[in-house]
Chain A
Amino acid sequence: MTQQLAPTLDRAYARSFVDSEIRPEADAWDRAGAIPEELLDRIADAGLWAPFLPVEIGGSGIGMVTLGEIHEEVGRGCSSVRSLLTVHTMLSWALQRFGTAAQIQQWGPALATGRTLGAFCLSEPGAGSDTAAITTTAVPHKGGWLLNGLKKWTTNGQRADLFLVFAKGPASTIALLVPSTAPGVLVNPIDDMLGTRSSMLAEIAFSDVELGPEALLGPSGFASGMVLTGTLDLGRYSVAAGSVGIIQACIDACSAYAAERRVGGTALRDLPLIQAKLSDMVTDVRAARLLLAEAGRLKDRGDAATIMATWIAKYFASTAAARHASEAVQVHGANGCSPEFPVGRFYRDAKVMEIIEGSTEIQRMTIAAEAYRKWEP
């Protein structure tokens, strides 16, 4: 009998998985507007859905620095797949951080393997950045909860099995675990988005959904806001990582193209104006990667400074990704606007990074507050 050794889940492992399973197909998925079921299974086989979960519940117990590297690699291949990982990560992390032993036992193992896929339902037709404006309600009902409301833009809403739904509770916003199969849950696909087109977005209606008391995740009362803050922090970390991946993908595409394409007898790569674009991409990808790694190190140490570090990493990486993806299209000329090259996809996906998990404006408002704090090296 041969015993199979579990692979080490690290950047190199994710890189080879992405290069063989994701990168070659990403443009086709983008056009089809969906990620095929086989790929979801392969991610499960590769152990990449929630490898940060502890070994006891079926994860691999990897640290946050490594998780960031894995999400960067996936983001380099396909931002839509990375988005599915992001929302699954958010729900899985929230369960592990705030769940009771019974909740962790109920959902943890299936989330660790990816047999159950998670999604995150906060935004509504009338509430995005302004999370206090949500109108979905959860009222105490038969010892549990009665959920009513409409969520919008739920990444992987079309396919996910378990939703982390934020609703107005009796005293404050609370988080509920809601299976997609619960009576009263209605999923409406949202197609044809600008970017992350294959991330299977949905609008989800909750009509008199009856839930048991065990649906409530985390504390109610003053600390319930922490469930949202903590979950968004992880989402932001993953989006920062994905944005680093987009910049790297732009560099890879542009360096290959600039070596081949000639104008007036000169390769693009030898033109100073093209070199200027590439040098900025190379510099920013390194800076973004360092900011991400710093946020990851602080997470691994349990240091509260990780929250601000993650805001900053996401702000820097997402805005740099949008800038460089635009330049990547420029470097490719008309080819950049055609479906034959991936840079058009990077451009559309990068724009989304500036809107999700705290838009650029919200990032700037939050980060400005840091200026008034005492700085300690």
Chain B
Amino acid sequence: MDTTARILAFITNRFPQAEITDTEDIFSLGYINSLFAMELVMHIEKEFTVTIPNDELRIDNFRTAKAMTELVDGLRSAVVR
């Protein structure tokens, strides 16, 4: 599975009723609370073995699966470099 699919799988596992695409704003769905935000960040860090620095914990980085994918890819390439 690619990064986007893995992120989407985590979200739909939590919210089976959600039918989301990779460009859909997950915050507009109405069920994101701080508990899920924390779970999402922890999950991304573990799943992709990255550490998300404080200044990347911005809402725009987490709005869509696509944005999260870009964040992960950016952090991974920073590690490789």
Q: Which residues of A contact B (CB under 8 A)?
A: 98, 100, 218-219, 221-223, 225-226, 228-230, 233, 301-307, 366, 372-374, 376
Q: Are A222 and B58 in contact (CB under 8 A)?
A: yes
Cβ contact of B37, chosen from A100, A225, A301, A372, cutoff 8 A? A225
Measured between beta carbons, the chain B residues less than 8 angstroms from A100 are 54
Bound Cα distance from A302 to B45, whole angstroms: 8
Interface of B with A (CB < 8 Å)? 13-17, 34-35, 37-43, 45-46, 54-55, 57-59, 62
The residue that B16 contacts in the complex, of A226, A301, A305, A374, with Cβ under 8 A, is A374
Q: Which residues of A contact B46 (CB under 8 A)?
A: 301-304
Can you list the 5 inter-chain pairs with the closest CB atoms, starting with the nearest? Answer: A225-B34, A223-B57, A222-B59, A304-B39, A304-B42
Distance between Cα atoms of A95 and B39 in the complex (Å): 19
In the complex, the answer to whether B34 meets A307 with C-beta atoms within 8 Å is no
Query: How far does the Cβ of B38 sit from chain A's closest Cβ, in whole Å?
Result: 4
Q: Smallest CB-CB separation from A376: which chain B residue? A: B13
- Would you mind naming 28 contact pairs between A and B with Cβ atoms under 8 Å apart? A98-B54, A100-B54, A218-B54, A218-B57, A219-B54, A221-B57, A221-B59, A222-B57, A223-B54, A223-B59, A225-B37, A226-B34, A226-B57, A229-B34, A229-B35, A229-B38, A302-B42, A302-B45, A304-B40, A304-B42, A306-B42, A307-B35, A307-B38, A307-B42, A373-B16, A374-B14, A374-B16, A376-B13
Contacts of A228 in B (CB 8 A): 34
Q: Which residues of B contact A226 (CB under 8 A)?
A: 34, 37-38, 41, 57
Find chain B residues with CB under 8 A from A218 CB.
Answer: 54, 57
**When the two chains form the complex, which single residue of A98, A223, A307, A372 contacts B39, counting CB atoms closer than 8 Å?**
A307
List 14 extra interface pairs beyond A302-B46, A373-B14, CB under 8 A. Answer: A218-B57, A219-B57, A219-B58, A222-B59, A223-B37, A223-B54, A223-B57, A223-B58, A225-B34, A226-B34, A229-B37, A233-B38, A372-B17, A374-B14
> Are B37 and A219 neighbours in the complex by a CB distance under 8 Å?
no
A376 to B37, CA, bound (A): 20
A213 vs B2: C-alpha distance when bound (angstroms): 40
Is B16 touching A219 in the complex (CB atoms < 8 A)?
no
Task: Please measure, in the bound complex, the distance between the C-alpha atom of A372 and the C-alpha atom of B13, giving whole angstroms.
Answer: 10
Residues of A within 8 A of B58 (CB): 219, 221-223
A303 CA to B47 CA, complexed, in Å: 9
